[in-house]
Amino acid sequence: MKRDDLNQHLSQISTMWTVLRQAHAGTGAEATAAQQLLLERYGGAVHRYLTRALGDVHAADDLLQEFALSLVRGSFRGADPERKRFRFYVKTVLFHMVSRHGRKQRVKPLAADSSDLANLAAPVDDDRDFDESWREQLLARAWEGLNRSQPLFHEVLRLRVQHPKMESAEMAEELGHRLGKSLTADGVRQTLHRAREKFANLLVDEVAETLEDVTIERLQEELADLNLLDYCKPAMSRRKAAGTQ
């Protein structure tokens, strides 16, 4: 597969920008499904960030509901993917929501149907709390995907993460007890290698879905920005190699 063909394949992945447009431009059922998908995928990241930013879980609950209501009412319909990545856009919206929350007695809240939400300037400060929340959400979704598609891979990789110094023979014994079947040390090593590959591919796909017109270069840049590239270097190397053949 040539690099141009690989980038074309990546661009066909349904991005969150596509889903956001569907949330506002689709039919009633389509729009509702898209809104639910956005909240299901990124509601956890939004709530974690709001809780950290506000230091108040109840206030975070309220602002998450405000975020969801704004999404349902179409406040983000004017968002332009040419201006920023999906992560940057959500981060900017939340930054301004938190700012308004802090001065809500002095500043009139934006109307739910206001186009201002779609045209907000990026925050001056680089808020790493949001990036960390976003990163945690992507990792969590990759773990969920691994559990759904390959439960054995999930068990083996989780055990390695929980006990990084455990010998393969010990892992085989522990997993044998958990799964009710006999495993060998060699089998565990092979499964662990395949599990890492599968997890990395799932994580790369999760990140790719947050980019518009995704290419290998943009994907690598986003992974690096989120400190996820180390997890995905082998997967990215394979994709790059496939793009040069």
What DSSP string runs through 9-72? HHHTS--HHHHHHHHHHS-HHHHHHHHHHHHHHHHHHHHHHHHHHHS-HHHHHHHHHHHHHHHH
User: Does 8 score more than 60 pLDDT?
Assistant: no
Decide which of 68, 102, 126 is a domain's last residue: 126
Domain that holds residue 214: 130-244
Q: In this structure, are 148 and 43 located in the same domain?
A: no
53's tokens: 């930013």
pLDDT reported for residue 193: 95
Please report whether residue 2 resides in a domain.
no
- Tens-digit pLDDT profile for residues 158-171: 999 999 999 999 99
How confident is the model over 13-33, as a mean pLDDT?
69
What pLDDT is stored for residue 10 in this prediction? 33
> Mean pLDDT in the chain?
78
Question: pLDDT digits over 222-240, tens only?
Answer: 999 999 998 898 889 887 7
Q: How confident is the model at residue 88 (pLDDT cuts 50, 70, 90)?
A: confident
Q: Is residue 4 part of a domain?
A: no
